[in-house]
Amino acid sequence: MQHAVAGAPHIAVLAREGKGPPVVWLGGFKSDMRSTKAEVLDAWAAKAGRAFIRFDYSGHGESGGDFAEGTISQWLEDSLAVLASHVEDRPILVGSSMGGWLALLVARRLLETCPDRAPRGMVLIAPAVDFTERLMWDRFPDDIKRAIDETGVYNRPSPYSPDPYPITKRLIEDGRRHLILGTPIRTDCPVHILQGMEDPDVPWGHALTLVEHLPGDSTSLTLVKDGDHRLSRPEDLDRLVRAVEAMG
């Protein structure tokens, strides 16, 4: 059933009631809550009787707002608002691509402000941590950087959509407020990373860098040798469901 979010009525949420720790889906950049992986997890939750919450960030999917106006700050606040409105127990966060970065930012915020609501586990799929800087800005040639500085936007072609993705100066500059690689990342919960080794968007070396910043005794990494960025083949989806089930 779709719900509005207190204080953020433009955020579309699908919430399935159930038992056990609620599983919360955080999608990727320009993705939506009806993506293949989210639908598979919803089907699993229905069969297992588990609570499952998924939503669209501002400017994504069925939510209001303009994608080109979006920032990491905004999407983080969207995520926190959904958790505050729909989750009463410590959740299991499942973050895909950008959602992996947001899951870690959510965990940090909750540990600082209300640790009794912090995640009890996380499954991160090709986590694009610090992607605005490390996977975009640092890799852009000078002409693209100059275009962003001078015009405020670069329309980046995407293999996942016929329309280009607007990469704005606002997105890049705001992303710098949330960079987390470079210092230890506190989670206080188990983290399982699923990463394809043929991922052209988030190289598997990026996942190794993240692992180096996470607590070693509660972090596991599964490298899928022939896996791409989406990890949406049947065997990938089975692996995802098993990882979520293992969190409790």
Q: Nearest-CA neighbor of 65 among 28, 11, 13?
A: 11
- CATH 3.40.50.1820 matches 2-139+183-246: yes
pLDDT digits (tens, 9 = 90+) for 163-176: 899 999 999 999 99
DSSP type of residue 90: P
CA-CA-CA-CA dihedral for 103, 105, 108, 109, to nearest 10: -110
Q: Could you give the CA distance from residue 185 to residue 149 in angstroms, rounded to a whole number?
A: 31
Tell me the angle at which helices 36-48 and 234-246 cross, rounded to the nearest 10 degrees.
Answer: 50
pTM: 0.95
Do you know the residue count of the chain?
248
| Domain ranges, ordered by start, for the chain | 2-139+183-246
Calculate mean pLDDT across residues 107-116. 97
The amino acid present at 58, given as its one-letter code, is: S
pLDDT digits (tens, 9 = 90+) for 35-88: 999 999 999 999 999 999 999 999 999 999 999 999 999 999 999 999 999 999
